[in-house]
């Protein structure tokens, strides 16, 4: 029988035929498509004709299409709906892919052709995008070891293969810990929990095959449990389980993996001629240097810590007034912070949440995209990889733009967090290829599903990434959509969050789950007025994580990452009742691959820009100003990585922003 992963997909918009694909199809499809890609690359490298942009760069851009199609389906499934077989395949594929990548990037004949084009680039009559793509291909080869020889080249290959294995193992260990732990709640264990938390805990119990209610390690469930449970002992138990992920001993412990990963990254950097991994990694980002990153983070750290310490004193007094002695602890913060918010802002999460229905928030995200960019969304009835996933066709003026897939609910087979990926990226080389974009979240199930305001912000955030993919308008896949520097990629996503807080958006879409009534004007006003509430806490837990990440990779490599983490936090004067948002053994951003390694700061770097970018709308015609929307699409959303990130932002705004915009937006000045 024909392998469905390798055949033509006679499906609407060539969406993968998930109903026909089995886990047994992936390994043979992987091997065959990789062999085809290898053969295509060899033909390019061994071409007797003189190198041209078309027979080298264009050809390389199209050489791996079959392999990319197989991998895009596989890795979407592996992240969103893992099985033991898919985890086994990840372990099989990751070192093979690393070896293949090194083989291509270090191919002497191929690099010689690229280098020849680079030396003659001014005489080739290239477009700006082609010049950028040529530079990126050459730079990628050099940074992957193309200039190394002999033993150093061989060692770098070994290092990269081992790092791929470790990254996969780290992810799978974390998923195992998250999947296996849950705490049953009976009788008085439920004290203080509002109806929406009980509904979510009941749905989680059903997913675990347990009667009654459970708390899992899904952030969307454990956070409201910590907010509302009056049982301090159970809050402590749940919280400690949450922060112990990846550090429970046994086969799923990630601490040794983190140590080995850091050592290998340092060796990789030194082989390529850099002092440390942070210097290597940041060279291609907007920040450029570890010192620039450290300055940004420390500029934010001090005012954030001052705010958090002031808040901690207030929360500790509240706790003592409740008759609880001792220090305020991490499992107390959310509980007393929620009480304080109710007092100071007259806000109760149980009052807010019925107005934030998942389906209505999806409609809100779509409606903003319609008003800003003219996009329309129509539901698609197509087979997808899980019953929770759903799809829409995206059009503009009747013309197909993209397919958007949303997969919103937490489940044991899905890794934690939220993300955006493209099963197919936009490109024009070889035909007008339109993207298939996926948003994956981990919201608690309910009937109807209700979101916290933070959940709704996450939904808008990921949809901002999706717009970056859907509105991409470039020729080359390698610079399409979100293929930009790491500290620029969060700009579209964080910028889109601002539209959730536009009063007219909530007035229209924040409707009560039972009555259908719009959120009362007074409640809306109080909700928006509390927008920067507890910002000291959220900023401290984030910046602490970013600084630990930076110090892991800048300077001498720690042999004991947990000891290094402790010393960095001690030097910072980390508030006692706040922990890192992501402690080392569960820091998937940093250790499940090197995407955000040395670069977790990126969210904050982008936030400096997103605060300034939204101000650009407010300075003219408001949040839906058509001229500013046009500039945003022209210079940011449609251009992908076809130009330098700073050049793109300057074209949109005319200047680079200062950190004060961020501090003001967070209410820290």
- Point out the residues that are catalytic: 462
- Phi first, then psi: give them for residue 399, nearest 5 degrees: -100, 135
At 185 the three-state DSSP class reads strand
Q: Give 566's DSSP letter.
A: H
Written as one string, the DSSP assignment of 94-148 is HHHHHHHHHHHHT-HHHHHHHHHHHHTGGGTT--HHHHHHHHHHHHHHHHTTTT-
Q: With H, G, I as helix, E, B as strand and everything else as coil, classify residue 214.
A: strand
Separation of CA 617 from chain center:
25
| Peptide bond just before 448 cis, omega within 30 deg | yes
d(CA 504, CA 417) in angstroms, rounded, equals 29
- C-alpha of 178 from chain center: 18
Q: Rounded to whole angstroms, what are the CA distances from 499 to 460, 487, 534? A: 8, 21, 21
Residues 6+ apart with CB under 8 A from 507: 518, 519, 521, 524
Maximum C-alpha span of the chain: 83
Measure the CA angle with vertex 145, ends 141 and 151; round to 5°: 155
Q: Which residue has the tokens 């609880």?
A: 324
Distant-in-sequence contacts of 345-351, Cβ < 8 A, 24+ apart: 345/526, 345/529, 345/530, 345/533, 346/526, 347/526, 347/527, 347/530, 349/194, 349/224, 349/227, 349/228, 349/452, 350/194, 350/195, 350/196, 351/523
Q: How many CA atoms lie within 13 A of 640 on its CB side?
A: 23
What CA–CA distance (Å, rounded) separates 462 from 445? 19
CA angle 420, 421, 423 (to 5 degrees): 145
Helix (H, G, I), strand (E, B) or coil at 292: helix
């Amino acid at each position: 029988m024909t392998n469905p992963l390798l055949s033509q997909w006679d499906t609407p918009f060539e969406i993968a035929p998930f109903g026909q694909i089995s886990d047994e199809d992936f390994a043979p499809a992987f091997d065959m498509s990789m062999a085809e890609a290898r053969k295509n690359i060899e033909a390019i490298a061994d071409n007797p004709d003189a190198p041209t942009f078309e027979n080298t760069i264009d050809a390389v851009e199209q050489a791996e299409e079959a392999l990319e199609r197989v991998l895009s389906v596989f890795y979407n499934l592996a992240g969103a709906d893992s099985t033991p077989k898919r985890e086994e395949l990840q372990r099989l594929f990751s070192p093979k892919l690393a070896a293949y990548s090194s083989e291509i990037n270090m191919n002497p004949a191929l690099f010689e052709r690229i280098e020849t084009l680079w030396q003659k680039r001014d005489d080739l009559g290239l477009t700006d995008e082609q010049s950028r793509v040529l530079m990126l291909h050459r730079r990628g080869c050099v940074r992957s070891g193309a200039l190394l020889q002999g033993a150093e080249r061989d060692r770098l290959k070994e290092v990269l293969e081992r790092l791929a294995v470790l990254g996969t193992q780290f992810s799978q260990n974390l998923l195992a810990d998250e999947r296996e732990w849950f705490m049953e709640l009976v009788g008085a264990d439920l004290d203080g929990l509002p109806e929406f938390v009980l509904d979510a805990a009941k749905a989680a119990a059903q997913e675990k095959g347990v009667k009654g209610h459970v708390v899992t390690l899904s952030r969307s469930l454990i956070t409201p449990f910590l907010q509302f449970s009056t049982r301090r002992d159970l809050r402590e138990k749940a919280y400690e389980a949450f922060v112990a992920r990846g550090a429970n001993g046994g086969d799923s412990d990630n601490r040794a993996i983190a140590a080995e990963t850091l050592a290998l990254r340092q060796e990789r950097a030194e082989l390529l001629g850099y002092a440390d991994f942070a210097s290597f990694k940041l060279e291609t980002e907007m920040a450029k240097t570890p010192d620039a990153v450290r300055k940004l983070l420390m500029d934010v750290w001090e005012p954030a810590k001052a705010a958090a310490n002031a808040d901690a004193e207030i929360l500790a007094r509240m706790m003592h007034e409740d008759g609880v002695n001792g220090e305020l602890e991490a499992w107390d913060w959310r509980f007393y912070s929620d009480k304080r918010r109710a007092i100071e802002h007259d806000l109760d999460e149980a009052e807010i949440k019925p107005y934030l229905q998942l389906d209505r928030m999806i409609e809100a995200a779509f409606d903003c995209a319609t008003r800003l960019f003219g996009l329309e969304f129509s539901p698609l009835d197509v087979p997808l990889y899980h019953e929770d996933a759903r799809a829409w066709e995206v059009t503009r003026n009747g013309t197909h733009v993209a397919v958007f897939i949303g997969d919103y609910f937490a489940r044991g087979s899905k890794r934690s967090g939220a993300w955006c990926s493209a099963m197919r990226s936009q490109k024009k080389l070889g035909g007008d290829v339109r993207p298939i974009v996926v948003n994956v979240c981990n919201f608690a199930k309910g009937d109807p599903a209700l979101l916290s305001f933070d959940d709704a912000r996450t939904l808008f955030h990921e949809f901002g990434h999706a717009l970056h993919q859907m509105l991409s308008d470039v020729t080359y896949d390698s610079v399409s959509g979100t293929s930009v520097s790491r500290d620029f990629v969060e700009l579209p996503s964080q910028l889109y969050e601002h539209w959730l807080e536009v009063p007219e958006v909530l007035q229209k879409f924040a409707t009560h789950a039972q009555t259908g009534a719009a959120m009362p004007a007074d409640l809306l006003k109080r909700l928006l007025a509390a927008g920067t509430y507890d910002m000291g806490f959220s900023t401290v837990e984030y910046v602490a994580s970013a600084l630990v990440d930076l110090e892991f990779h800048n300077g001498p490599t720690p042999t004991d990452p947990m000891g290094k983490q402790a010393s960095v936090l001690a030097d910072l004067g980390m508030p006692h009742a706040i922990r890192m948002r992501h402690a080392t053994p569960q820091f998937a951003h940093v250790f499940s691959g090197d995407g955000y390694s040395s670069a977790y700061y990126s969210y904050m770097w982008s936030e400096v820009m997103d605060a300034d970018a939204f101000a650009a709308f407010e300075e003219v015609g408001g949040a839906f100003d058509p001229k500013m929307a046009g500039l945003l699409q022209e210079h940011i959303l449609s251009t992908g990585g076809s130009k330098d990130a700073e050049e793109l932002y300057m074209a949109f705004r005319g200047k680079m922003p200062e950190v004060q915009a961020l501090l003001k937006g967070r209410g820290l000045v």
